[in-house]
Amino acid sequence: MSTKTLERPDVTEDDTTDDDAPKFFHYVRKEKITESAVTGTFVVALCGETFPVTKSAKPGSPVCPECKKIYNRMKK
């Protein structure tokens, strides 16, 4: 495993929202996702949203627009 200056964030589902609310996936650092999945701690997404990781992102799931914006800005 190589360490880069900026970890490539992975997407993870915000499962704290109501059932009828649209479910977004947030960008969260990969090592935090693993940590949260094991210990149940809350992760902080790029947009500042905090939630415990319960599921990983499915292809085609909507990504949090705020996270996407920040992530695209970070890539430059």
Residue 63 engages Zn ion in binding (rule: CB under 5 A): no
The residue among 35 and 66 lying less far from Zn ion, judged by its C-beta, is 66
Would you give the binding string for Zn ion spanning residues 14-33, x where CB under 5 A is met? ------------x-------
Residue 64 engages Zn ion in binding (rule: CB under 5 A): yes
Characterize 31-51 residue by residue with b for buried, 16 or more Cβ atoms within 10 angstroms of its Cβ, and e for exposed.
ebbeebbeeeeebebbbebeb
Helical H runs in 5-63?
Answer: 30-39
Residue 67 engages Zn ion in binding (rule: CB under 5 A): yes
| Number of residues assigned to the chain | 76
Classify 40 as helix, strand or coil.
coil
Contact set with Zn ion (CB under 5 A): 26, 45, 47, 49, 64, 66-67
